Amino acid sequence: MADALEDLLRRYTKPSSDAEQQRQDAAEKLIRDAVACRTVLSNLGSRLEILPKGSYKNNTNVKLDSDVDVAVVSHEVYYPDYSALSEQDRLRLSNDPPKNWVGPSQLRQEVTLARVFQ
């Protein structure tokens, strides 16, 4: 029993086959193409990173029975601390994020709306 389990785990942790690697690459390209179609996302340029995650990336997937996880990560951070400012300055600046800034909620919405039409 233990030998069978060891055997199974060894098979699961082997690198992806060529066909599986193609599947991963195709999924990542699909996401990149979809993101490129959304103006808000494409304007982020190098501040946006698209990278494989999860079991395929870590070689822990169940071969031919796993999805491909791809993360869309924003390197935009804007959480200022205005507590030392006067009330007037705090109000003036609190509504003025940097140009083209995309907050977490808008990023999620834009990624969700991203589609590639063929």
Is 118 within a domain?
A: no
Is 20 within a domain?
A: yes
Is 74 within a domain?
A: yes
pLDDT digits (tens, 9 = 90+) for 10-55: 776 677 778 878 888 888 898 899 998 898 888 888 888 988 887 7
* Contact assessment for residue 72 and residue 104, using Cβ atoms and an 8 Å cutoff: no
Is 9 within a domain?
A: yes
pLDDT digits (tens, 9 = 90+) for 60-106: 666 666 677 888 998 877 667 788 889 888 888 776 666 677 888 88
CA–CA dist 23, 20 (Å, integer): 5
* Contact assessment for residue 91 and residue 45, using Cβ atoms and an 8 Å cutoff: no
Angle (nearest 5°) at CA 43 between 38 and 46:
115
Helices (H), 15-103: 18-36, 39-42, 54-57, 87-94
Tell me the residue range of the domain where 53 lies: 2-113
DSSP-based three-state secondary structure for 46: helix
Provide the domain count of the chain: 1
pTM above 0.85, yes or no: no
